[in-house]
Amino acid sequence: MKSFALLLFATSLARAELTREAAAAAVTESHAALAKERSIKMREVKEGFQYFEVEAAAKTMRCVGKLYGEAEKGKRALYLSMHGGGGAPARVNDQQWNNQVGLYTPDQGWYVAPRAPSNTWNLWHEPHIDQLFGRLIEDMVATCGVDPNRVYLMGYSAGGDGVYQLAPRMADRFGAAAMMAGHPNDASPDGLRNLPFRIYMGGKDAAYKRNEVAAQWGEKLAALQEKRGGYEHKVTIYPELGHWMNRKDAEAVPWMAGKVRQPWPKKVVWGKSGTRSKRFYWLGGKPTGVVEAQVEGQKVVITGAPEDDLWLYLSDQLLDLDKPITVLRDGKEVFSGKVQRTKKAIEESLRERLDPVMAATALLEVAGAKKE
């Protein structure tokens, strides 16, 4: 009976309303406790390069990385650099991986070249990649002093295919992304509203019409920028070059270094592009279409996927939780009132995603409009 009473007491504490200050302290405490459960076992392979493995989605992803510069822990950047190859024998993809390990050199931070777990044509945009990259980022933040707001995505050839696919659907993980010599296949750029994005392409890289498609994506991004704002982008096509760009594309590295992630943007566009995570910025759920959401003072305005249930991951970095909020879906008010900050919400948020900067202090379910 005593243990049951203690359980009830602990549950009530977890659900009790927190002040802004208490919530911030709880985020720090909870993240520190969960970070202790994470580890990366590295071994040096050559000239400071470290080999390690990441496990998620019943897959193992081999990685080689190196720490450059002297930034203190907590302020280090992380560059994820995806190799080319694709639908080829393992030895070909291994060779491409080895090339990628030394292809780019940042001034500061971790440069990590993972080896795709498969040898399929879509090796960098199979569903398990999202979970593997999520785990890799969280582990590097928890154990290697990486700043979660300074994580960058890049890739060459088939790795560029991966950038086209992963950047829009994992935009809330990165500070910037650069695509080199790839093809988007069926990817959609909708989710890139808050992620600075660059495309590098050889003008003579005509296989699969990569050069033409790169220019078309520039047009798509310009149209989205005109329509919705955001969508910072630049397309660089070297007219005299083919698939290999003679490392001219390396200019992307210092450009990315100057960008910082927006973890709590006031406007979010959750696009429909391949695999969807359970959370995108401060939206959650399993929407079937494109969702646009915007914070206007204490009001949250949502359009798209009207019949789908959504979650709002809330924080005082987004709006003032000491005051009531209003939620509108397609012009209809679906919630009005205060949402409590709780330890339960913080722990739930961090267990879903071990990201101290994006930890929600309050959660709100917003039901969709059901058909009559």
98 contacts 42 by C-beta, under 8 angstroms: no
- Neighbouring C-beta atoms of residue 293, cutoff 10 Å: 24
Q: Which residue has the tokens 């450009």?
A: 255
351: nearest Cα among 137, 33, 40, 75 = 33
Tell me what pLDDT residue 14 has.
Answer: 62
Tell me what pLDDT residue 187 has.
Answer: 95
Please check the confidence at residue 11 and state whether its pLDDT lies above 60.
no
How far apart are alpha carbons 205 and 214 in whole angstroms?
10
Please check the confidence at residue 18 and state whether its pLDDT lies above 90.
yes
Tell me what pLDDT residue 307 has.
Answer: 82
Tell me what pLDDT residue 6 has.
Answer: 34
Tell me what pLDDT residue 324 has.
Answer: 98
Strands 310-314 and 325-329 come out as unpaired
Start and end residues for every CATH 3.40.50.1820 domain found in the chain? 48-257
Predicted confidence band at 360 (pLDDT cuts at 50, 70, 90)? Answer: very high
105-126: per-residue pLDDT in tens? 999 999 999 999 999 999 999 9
Q: Which residue has the tokens 């993240």?
A: 31
More confident residue, 357 or 286: 357
**How much of the chain exceeds pLDDT 70, in percent?**
95
Identity of the amino acid at 366:
V
Tell me what pLDDT residue 5 has.
Answer: 41
Kindly state the average pLDDT of the residues 196-223. 98
Please check the confidence at residue 337 and state whether its pLDDT lies above 90.
yes
Half-sphere exposure of 94 (CA within 13 A, CB side): 3
The domain covering 48-257 belongs, at the CATH homologous superfamily level, to Alpha/Beta hydrolase fold, catalytic domain (3.40.50.1820)
The DSSP element (H or E) to which 332 belongs, if any, is strand 332-337
Kindly state the average pLDDT of the residues 226-252. 98
Asked which of 8-17, 85-94, 321-330 is least confident by mean pLDDT, the reply is: 8-17
Tell me what pLDDT residue 288 has.
Answer: 87
> What is the overall mean pLDDT for the chain?
94
- Neighbouring C-beta atoms of residue 355, cutoff 10 Å: 23
Predicted confidence band at 12 (pLDDT cuts at 50, 70, 90)? Answer: very low
Tell me what pLDDT residue 370 has.
Answer: 60
270-311: per-residue pLDDT in tens? 998 778 889 999 999 989 899 999 999 999 999 998 888 999
127-162: per-residue pLDDT in tens? 999 999 999 999 999 999 999 999 999 999 999 999
Tokens of 169: 């659907």
Tell me what pLDDT residue 275 has.
Answer: 82
Please check the confidence at residue 2 and state whether its pLDDT lies above 60.
no
Tell me what pLDDT residue 299 has.
Answer: 98
Residues counted in the chain: 372
Please check the confidence at residue 8 and state whether its pLDDT lies above 70.
no
Tell me what pLDDT residue 16 has.
Answer: 85
**How much of the chain exceeds pLDDT 90, in percent?**
90
